[in-house]
Structure 1
Amino acid sequence: MSTSRRAESFHSIYTHGFFRVAAATSLVWPGQPDLNANEIVTLSRQASEQQVGLIVFPELSLSGYSIDDLFHQDALLTSVETALLSVVDASKELAPILVIGAPLRIDQRLFNCAVVIYRGEIFGIVPKTYLPSYREFYEKRYFCSAEHAVSTTARLSGTDIPFGRDLIFEVPACPGFAMHVEICEDLWVPVPPSSRAALSGATVLANLSASNVTTGKADYRRLLCASQSGRCVAGYLYAGAGYGESTTDLCWDGHMTIYENGELLAESVRFATGSHWISADLDLAKLCQERLRLTSFHDCAQLEQRPMRRVAVPFTPAKNSWTLQRAISRYPYVPAGVEERAARCREVFEIQVQGLMRRLEGTGIKKALLGISGGIDSTQALLVTTVAFDRLGYPRQDILAYTLPSLATSKRTRSIAWRLMQYLEVGAHEIDITQAASDMLVNIHHPAGEGDAVYDTTFENVQAGERAAYLFRLANFHQGLVVGTSNLSELALGYTTYGVGDHMSHYNVNASVPKTLMRPLVRWAVDEKIFATPVLFVLDAILTAPSSPELIPSQRGKAQNAEAEIGPYELHDFFLYHLSRFGFAPSKIAFLAQQAWAVPNQDAGGDSVQQEPTHDLAAIKHWLEFFLRRFISTSQFKRSAMPNGPKIGSGGSLSPRSDWRAPSDISATAWIDELQNIP
């Protein structure tokens, strides 16, 4: 493939498994199908200009829902059929698949139908199954249920068209697109038709509705749509009737929503007085990936699925759909909203605390040991340990915290470590390991032991190894438990020293906490004032410091910087989330990252004290290759031996006993080769 064609393919949303969908509320003229048809075509043309691939209209949108016994008038029904054919004819020039509502006569029965149209052809007609006839509803007075359908085809304008509630509409050009249609009340019943359709492979569920508005009903609709999309692991489009319906006894709010696996992607304003529509890009590839993992979903399918007919729709994706119509968070582990982020931090902290409490109680150990560097990770571990001891009623002095300065420790971090330990009133200790590390360098004939400035991996790991040796022997001596401090991001990259303090411990409370969540967690502790004021001042100082392992002496006044060596943590956490959680191909991950960083900061997930970073596609591709080589090929052996620690989020953990099992000697070739799809 040429460079230009590869670039065009890469930048299209359809290449990466997305599909642009819309829900529309058309201004309706009850009993005037020709005017309704014109309005439907007008909205469809607008959607076509925005590269929408599917647009769904309300229930009985060609006739209007609120015409009561006029549904039995031949003049009206014939007018509906004529108007339907006019929409079909107009669709020849329109890009999206159209789903519109109409009352249709089939086998001497009248059905409340959804009609699926594309490029001048009707591909299927779906009748409503559950007809409400209670309180304000009288649908059984007018319509027959899909249960009473005799034929599996309907003849319209001399053409036999697939007819029935068992239709799934597939798009061969867009793998993963499989649409099922249901109508209003079908969603309100205990087992909606879309549930069985999803178990048979439908990923896009469309609902044409004319649900009238009453106080509180919109919240219930949201609950139903969110729940159905989540249970079915599907996209759910809900298009409700709006302005123009008769208000003789009822009113209509034109409510529309688009959900994906329980997440709201788009929602309309309510009570608009004209036609309007909403759109969003469904991630079909993510839905399919999610279903791959859910064994219980497929177990249910074995019990509940029904034979379904497949109808192929020759939809052609737009080539110039480059910008996603959905938010891609730069910080998938960190909620953007202030209140939501605070709630997440509170929950993560509670999980960490409870995990450590249970481990201490389960082992009968009443002392904990930590190495305190003055950095963000050991700080969070110490805060968790302090609260765990308080809740267990253990004295804080039995938290044996050690600062272990060595060849590269700065005065600043040493001072911070001391102040943190003292202000928290834990057992504060210091063991200077400079001489021990120097002796080892001499004993192994390392150049640094002879006075040469050779700062290699051996030089770094000698210091890390000495710290671990002291902590574990101190744990033996005091009959205590070593609390780990390394985070999820470091474990993903293998940015730990095998078998020593930043890799090994007796229990690691930070094991599932990504680096991008560390600062928000400590910031939350400050904002919530869960510790005494002097502690909060120290935490503020820690939050302003860059991430540094301090294993190489400062050179020309500049301390060692972790991200200068291994790349930006915000990118690595982004890569980790989308690779481990959803199994996305590298090219899709790069596309999502480009979308996330294509405009100035679009979420507040990062810590407010940091300047917002920017990354272009070249940088994204570079660091993604770096991440893949380390995550897939070179660091799994460390994760295979990682200690216990609590899982804290749906983004997963890397424990070999929990979310991530992988061989330690696998090659990353397949992933690196796929990177070639990135221009």
Structure 2
Amino acid sequence: MTRPAHLPFDNLYRHGFVRTAVVVPRCKVADPAHNAAATIALLREAAAGGARVVVFPELGLSAYSCEDLFHQHALLDAAEAALAQVVQATADCPALAVVGLPLRVDGALYNVAAVAHGGRLLGVLPKSYLPNYGEFYEARQFHPAGDALVDHIELDGFGRVPFGTDLLFQALNLPALVLHAEICEDVWTPVPPSSFAAMAGATVLLNLSASNITVGKSAYRHDLAAAQSARCVAAYLYASAGFGESTTDLAWDGQALAYENGGLVAESARFRADSHWIQADIDLERLQHERMRQTSFAQCAARHRAETGRFRRIVFTLDLPDGALPLQRPIARHPYVPADGPERDARCHEVYDIQVQGLAQRLTASGIGCIVIGISGGLDSTQALLVAARAMDRLGRPRSDILAVTMPGFATSSRTLDQARRLMTAVGCTAMEIDIRPSCRQMLADIGHPAADGTPQYDITFENVQAGERTSHLFRLANHRNGFVLGTGDLSELALGWCTYGVGDHMSHYNVNASVPKTLIRHLVHWVGTQQADDAAGRALAQVLFDIAATEISPELVPATDGAGGNAPAQSTEDTLGPYELHDFSLYHTIRSGFSPAKVAFLTRHAFDGVPGRELPVIKRHLRTFLWRFFQTSQWKRSCVPNGPKVGSGGSLSPRGDWRAPGDGESAVWLADWARIPDA
């Protein structure tokens, strides 16, 4: 994607966004001069806020509810004069305006959307489908687009203007911005005109609507806009008529909506008595990436080439805002974890169901008698054990078929060991405890490592001997008990290569946490605690889960300077790697949307704005760690990971799933882009 690199880092247009506005003026019926003045004032206001695409309601220059007044030439003349005023206003206003009016063409009257920019009328799009049922009688006044015999019209003061539903408008200096407009009923049909426009390249779809309000209609508008933006992998901006329209037989709520790829970006309050508008920062780069990733989108466009090939492109150049222009849309700090409580609970429930179903099927297919799992007293193994317990419940098998083993080593803290013991008891599995220090000392002695006799040389060998011994014990126990080893490592660790390759936490027979990131696992564990019954057993499990969720993340492989066995882990993973919430944020936007490091940093800064310790220099430092580890040093570990279910749309790093990459790739291009992030 071509980006306006001359703009400063903190300007949203530099990072593939465009600011749009959906405007609902307070109108007067059959008073185009008043409506034009209101339209121009609101257009300038939106443009001053950085918006460069501004859409208004259907027939907004005349008002929608004029009925047979639409056959009065005085009104039609005034509407065309109002259009001329709006077009002229765009000469010194940087925004592109899309307004609705009645327009005479070859002796017929059309309900149209007029696109104006830079003092020019760029094109006019007529309404395709006229409702003539219920309270609607549009066919009484207007002709549908299909009746038109021309593809250009001559308008006084504008010359020859493109006319038709086949018009796309593309910004030369922001080429991912390609606009198309349809009108109200068009999106209520089985195949809206915007569907073909999107397949022809339109990324921002506009709907100029009047749409009177009845009970339940607002929710249906949401459904339509969400579905159309999702199917078309586009933004969908919907402007509805508001206060001032005639209430002779109808009422109007002035709803404004903005959706992007199925997700709501902004919406207005309804039933306001004043003019109002919403702004929506649309991520054009995300839309382009989604269309590129979803190969079926291009296949569908090719199948309908007879329709998509007829579209005409009209180009213009935007006057982009210079200086700082931060985002005004919400960006989730934790993209894998919904912020809304009920939605988060539903997400946790579904994640568990996916993990449990994957494990239950594997148990059934393999005929294995038991599950063997290592329990550290930390987040990941807790989550895996909870999934295993529920899988056994679902299969009607006793939880005693789970052999849970805690294996204290040189750096195991008293806190995590206690948590492991309490957890195994509360879950009701078969529990075992193996002190791995003797076997680790033997291994260290066999390879001639100084730590075998107590010398404090806590290097990578010292750490991996412990990790390897634990996994070795688990695999041999699985052989001995006719079981299989359930993995516990998570998506975040796999992304960063934070796992001991081969005979270590990298390997298992099946890994239910393979595509669950660390930030989500903490919520999952806490959520299970909140679901427990209010009895002694439920309270005991809940308490240990809450304790585990509150424990600092640590591999517990290096003892404290005063020896092992303290009340808290001596190592902090996040002190070494950086905060998981930042790494998970980078991971999501890197693998899900293919964003560049600079854009990831821009989004991170916005998402964590005002949070201490999340300033841009901190973000930049930790982002480099992520980029180096993810692209340069860790792929070879991901190339041979165990089986495990994909959980979310945020991606999986299995080479059999979402992510296929060379194990010896270079990180140079990502680090070069990273270097362009300012230090302050």
The reply to whether TM is greater than 0.5 is: yes
Listed one character per residue, the Cα deviations across residues 272-304 of structure 1 (whole Å, up to 9, x for unaligned) are: 112111111000000000000111111111122
Once residues 165 and 668 of structure 1 are traced to their aligned partners in structure 2, the CA distance between those partners, rounded to angstroms, is: 46
Amino acid at match of 2:321: A
Shift of 1:261: 0.6
Residue matched to 1:315: 318
Once residues 504 and 450 of structure 2 are traced to their aligned partners in structure 1, the CA distance between those partners, rounded to angstroms, is: 24
CA contact (8 A) 1:7 1:678 kept: no
Residue matched to 1:610: none
Q: Percent identity, aligned pairs only?
A: 53
Query: Which one of the candidate residues 543, 549, 567 is aligned to 1:537?
Result: 543
Matched, 1:142 2:153: no
Once residues 512 and 118 of structure 2 are traced to their aligned partners in structure 1, the CA distance between those partners, rounded to angstroms, is: 57
Once residues 610 and 416 of structure 2 are traced to their aligned partners in structure 1, the CA distance between those partners, rounded to angstroms, is: 36
Matched, 1:372 2:375: yes
Shift of 1:523: 0.7
Give the match's secondary structure for 1:653.
coil
Once residues 7 and 652 of structure 1 are traced to their aligned partners in structure 2, the CA distance between those partners, rounded to angstroms, is: 33
The CA RMSD measured in Å over matched residues stands at 1.4
Give the match's secondary structure for 1:229.
helix
Matched, 1:475 2:486: no
CA contact (8 A) 1:115 1:122 kept: yes
Shift of 1:652: 1.0
CA contact (8 A) 2:532 2:541 kept: no
Matched, 1:555 2:561: yes
Residue matched to 1:568: 579
Residue matched to 2:468: 465
Amino acid at match of 2:541: V
Shift in CA distance, 106/321, structure 1 to aligned 2, threshold 3 Å:
farther
Give the match's secondary structure for 1:505.
coil
CA contact (8 A) 1:493 1:635 kept: yes
CA contact (8 A) 2:5 2:14 kept: no
For residues 418-457 of structure 1, what are the structure 2 equivalents within 5 Å? 418-457=421-460
Shift of 1:518: 1.2
Shift in CA distance, 8/173, structure 1 to aligned 2, threshold 3 Å:
closer
Once residues 310 and 284 of structure 1 are traced to their aligned partners in structure 2, the CA distance between those partners, rounded to angstroms, is: 18
Listed one character per residue, the Cα deviations across residues 50-75 of structure 1 (whole Å, up to 9, x for unaligned) are: 01111100001111111111111111
Amino acid at match of 2:581: E
Q: Which runs of 5+ in 1 are unaligned?
A: 601-612
Matched, 1:595 2:606: yes
Shift in CA distance, 342/620, structure 1 to aligned 2, threshold 3 Å:
same
Q: Larger deviation: 275-284 or 102-111?
A: 102-111
Once residues 68 and 421 of structure 1 are traced to their aligned partners in structure 2, the CA distance between those partners, rounded to angstroms, is: 74
Residue matched to 1:607: none
CA contact (8 A) 1:51 1:321 kept: no
Once residues 31 and 318 of structure 1 are traced to their aligned partners in structure 2, the CA distance between those partners, rounded to angstroms, is: 35
Q: Larger deviation: 658-667 or 498-507?
A: 498-507
Once residues 401 and 105 of structure 2 are traced to their aligned partners in structure 1, the CA distance between those partners, rounded to angstroms, is: 80
Once residues 45 and 486 of structure 1 are traced to their aligned partners in structure 2, the CA distance between those partners, rounded to angstroms, is: 54
For residues 345-360 of structure 1, what are the structure 2 equivalents within 5 Å? 345-360=348-363
Once residues 286 and 11 of structure 2 are traced to their aligned partners in structure 1, the CA distance between those partners, rounded to angstroms, is: 16
CA contact (8 A) 1:126 1:181 kept: yes
Listed one character per residue, the Cα deviations across residues 540-559 of structure 1 (whole Å, up to 9, x for unaligned) are: 22122100100000235661
Give the match's secondary structure for 1:442.
helix
Residue matched to 1:220: 220
Q: What is the TM-score of this pair, normalised by structure 2?
A: 0.96
Amino acid at match of 1:535: L
For residues 384-403 of structure 1, what are the structure 2 equivalents within 5 Å? 384-403=387-406
Shift of 1:625: 1.1
Amino acid at match of 2:144: S
Once residues 461 and 272 of structure 2 are traced to their aligned partners in structure 1, the CA distance between those partners, rounded to angstroms, is: 68
Amino acid at match of 1:165: T
Shift of 1:321: 4.7
Residue matched to 1:300: 300
Residue matched to 1:609: none
CA contact (8 A) 2:8 2:324 kept: no
Query: Which one of the candidate residues 490, 493, 497 is aligned to 2:493?
Result: 490
Amino acid at match of 2:579: P
Once residues 631 and 368 of structure 1 are traced to their aligned partners in structure 2, the CA distance between those partners, rounded to angstroms, is: 31
Amino acid at match of 1:239: A
Shift of 1:677: 2.0
Amino acid at match of 1:244: G
CA contact (8 A) 1:17 1:175 kept: no
Shift of 1:8: 4.8
Listed one character per residue, the Cα deviations across residues 320-378 of structure 1 (whole Å, up to 9, x for unaligned) are: 35210110111000000111111111111111111111100010112000011111111
Listed one character per residue, the Cα deviations across residues 56-103 of structure 1 (whole Å, up to 9, x for unaligned) are: 000011111111111111111111111111111122221211000011
Once residues 262 and 311 of structure 2 are traced to their aligned partners in structure 1, the CA distance between those partners, rounded to angstroms, is: 25
Residue matched to 2:86: 87
CA contact (8 A) 1:51 1:95 kept: no
Amino acid at match of 2:198: A
Residue matched to 1:605: none
- How many correspondences in the alignment? 663
CA contact (8 A) 2:212 2:253 kept: yes
Query: Which one of the candidate residues 315, 329, 333 is aligned to 1:330?
Result: 333
Once residues 304 and 538 of structure 2 are traced to their aligned partners in structure 1, the CA distance between those partners, rounded to angstroms, is: 57
Residue matched to 2:34: 35
Once residues 162 and 510 of structure 2 are traced to their aligned partners in structure 1, the CA distance between those partners, rounded to angstroms, is: 61
CA contact (8 A) 1:405 1:432 kept: yes
Residue matched to 2:45: 46
Runs of 4+ in 1 over 4 A off after TM superposition: 5-8
Shift of 1:599: 2.7
CA contact (8 A) 2:409 2:435 kept: yes
Residue matched to 1:363: 366
Residue matched to 1:586: 597
Shift of 1:174: 1.0
Residue matched to 1:168: 168
Shift of 1:315: 1.2
Give the match's secondary structure for 1:438.
helix
Shift of 1:533: 2.1
CA contact (8 A) 1:597 1:614 kept: no
Residue matched to 1:231: 231
Give the match's secondary structure for 2:125.
strand
Matched, 1:126 2:132: no
Q: What is the TM-score of this pair, normalised by structure 1?
A: 0.96
CA contact (8 A) 1:58 1:209 kept: yes
Q: Larger deviation: 75-84 or 587-596?
A: 75-84
Amino acid at match of 1:584: F
Shift of 1:450: 4.0
Amino acid at match of 2:342: E
CA contact (8 A) 2:7 2:14 kept: no
Give the match's secondary structure for 1:468.
helix
Residue matched to 1:525: 528
Once residues 69 and 635 of structure 2 are traced to their aligned partners in structure 1, the CA distance between those partners, rounded to angstroms, is: 69
Once residues 509 and 123 of structure 1 are traced to their aligned partners in structure 2, the CA distance between those partners, rounded to angstroms, is: 55
Once residues 375 and 166 of structure 1 are traced to their aligned partners in structure 2, the CA distance between those partners, rounded to angstroms, is: 59
Amino acid at match of 1:572: H
Shift of 1:6: 7.4
Residue matched to 2:660: 661
Once residues 599 and 282 of structure 1 are traced to their aligned partners in structure 2, the CA distance between those partners, rounded to angstroms, is: 23
Once residues 632 and 569 of structure 1 are traced to their aligned partners in structure 2, the CA distance between those partners, rounded to angstroms, is: 17
CA contact (8 A) 1:95 1:119 kept: yes
Give the match's secondary structure for 1:259.
strand
Residue matched to 1:62: 61
Amino acid at match of 2:663: S
Listed one character per residue, the Cα deviations across residues 626-660 of structure 1 (whole Å, up to 9, x for unaligned) are: 11111111111111110001111110111110111
